[in-house]
Amino acid sequence: MKTKTIYQCTECGYQSAKWLGKCPACGEWNTLEEKEETIATDKGKGRKPLIAKSEQALPFTSLELPDYVRSKSGMGELDRVLGGGFVHGSVVLLAGEPGIGKSTLLLQISTALTQCDGKTSTVLYTSGEESRLQLHYRAKRLGVKCENLYVMTETDVERILSECDRLQPSFLIVDSIQTLSDQNVSSAPGTVSQVRECTLRLIAKAKSEGISVIIVGHVNKEGGIAGPKVLEHMVDAVLCFEGQRPSSFRIIRAAKNRYGSTNEIGVFELTDKGLEQITNPSEMLLEGRPVGVSGNCAACLVEGTRPMIAEIQALAAETNYSTPKRTSNGVDYNRLWLLLAVLERRLGLKFSSHDVYLNVAGGLRPDEPASDLPCCLALISAIKDRPLADDLIAFGEIGLSGECRGVSDCDLRIKEAIRLGFKTILLPYTNFRKLQTSKYDANVIGVKSLFEALKYI
């Protein structure tokens, strides 16, 4: 073993022999830090290649394509986000803030994973954060009890891998990557080189032996996954676990997925019995909805293939500042500015003397343009201080001229709105034209612009 001094970027892990002000790889300034790196000198013990044997190039058409082998986690909401379950030999990163419920979820699905597809398989759960006793108490509280679930509290990646050789598990859960360390790397756990090295070793194991590995990752204050960005590039799927405390509502999204769509979300509620799936999130999002209050408008959104009714809330209060305040929760901040500009310019509403707050109830973050029309209606209702009808719902994109543009999945949205008892549905005229409105048990209205929408509210 010998050591040398190198400079490493704390953002992306780029290494350089000399100090640089700006990282050439990620473009961040002042992120290169001096560190000592130990180099393993015994050459034979180097890192194993990810693909075992060297391969010759083959004609593309000669490849046989067996389907991905997937295992269901027993939670339909999670399986949907994964694209139909865990693919054998894949590496999934589950990222989220502390206390959001990552360990709880993984302990809960462990039971189902030991018995997927009618045969028993072994699951190895390793924790570097909690003691065995803590894990047992949690398992008891959640009602998790099964024979083929092995638990170990370990932070040395070497020992975890050798336990894998002994137990031959089908699933390996690592909680969390920031606590793991590799003896061959001198830096502390959680640093760029440790995280990268440990992840590489876990990936090599997954690919060579077909073990599905689930890695827990912490999220830093800015909401990014702590540690190097390279971690996200290395794994097959990145699932983000989100929720706004004190709300018990939890959402899992795929930020990256090599085996499925990234549009789908999974919805859960965190209770003292663990995470419970919510298959009809609309009901929960509308629960406790105020009646006859100005500034509220229901919106019919679609997340992946699932329609979801959310409530958009706006508040306009006379400002005490020279520059009025704008706060947005759930809707993109720049989108709020854009919509306010459209409302001011096209409808002549004066928001310049008001502080404006926009919020999507339930911690949902709709990032589709269909939320524009309900946001505008909520803002109009707020500034005029006149409530909208309680059974009114809207969706549609608003353009800069105040025009209302068509959106996708119109039929899906209308059906969900009707299922939840909405009687008046405002939607873009371009969508309305193609609809057979008589088949719906509601007053479906197509509008060409914001101005036209005003006539109906």
Ligand X SMILES: Nc1ncnc2c1ncn2[C@@H]1O[C@H](COP(=O)(O)OP(=O)(O)O)[C@@H](O)[C@H]1O
> Which residues lie near ligand X (CB under 6 A)?
96, 98-104, 141, 270, 272
Spatial CB neighbours of 204, under 8 Å, sequence gap ≥ 6: 47, 48, 49, 50
Q: Which does 44 bind (CB under 5 to 8 A by kind): Mg ion, ligand X, none?
A: none
Spatial CB neighbours of 382, under 8 Å, sequence gap ≥ 6: 294, 295, 314, 315, 316, 356
Q: CB-wise, 141 or 419, nearer to ligand X? A: 141
CB of 106: closest distance to ligand X in angstroms? Answer: 8
Q: CB-wise, 129 or 232, nearer to Mg ion? A: 129
CB 150 within 8 A of CB 164: no
Q: Which does 196 bind (CB under 5 to 8 A by kind): ligand X, Mg ion, none?
A: none
Q: Which does 101 bind (CB under 5 to 8 A by kind): Mg ion, ligand X, none?
A: ligand X
CB of 113: closest distance to ligand X in angstroms? Answer: 17
CB of 169: closest distance to ligand X in angstroms? Answer: 20
What tokens appear for 113 in the block?
Answer: 């994973």
CB of 11: closest distance to Mg ion in angstroms? Answer: 25
CA distance 76 to 277: 8
Q: CB-wise, 77 or 372, nearer to ligand X? A: 77
Helix axes 192-209, 157-167, angle to 10 degrees: 10
Distance of CA 141 to the CA centre of its chain: 26
Among 8, 73, 90, 103, interactor with Mg ion by CB under 5 A: 103
Strands 249-257 and 265-271: antiparallel
- Give me the residues paired with residue 316 across strands: 356
What tokens appear for 166 in the block?
Answer: 């002994």
**Other C-beta atoms lying within 10 Å of the C-beta of residue 244:** 15
Q: Which does 104 bind (CB under 5 to 8 A by kind): ligand X, Mg ion, none?
A: ligand X
Q: Which does 360 bind (CB under 5 to 8 A by kind): ligand X, Mg ion, none?
A: none
CA distance 13 to 37: 13
CB of 100: closest distance to ligand X in angstroms? Answer: 4
Residue nearest to Mg ion (CB): 103
Q: CB-wise, 243 or 260, nearer to ligand X? A: 243
- Give me the residues paired with residue 405 across strands: 397
Q: CB-wise, 100 or 393, nearer to Mg ion? A: 100
Binding site residues, Mg ion, CB under 5 A: 103
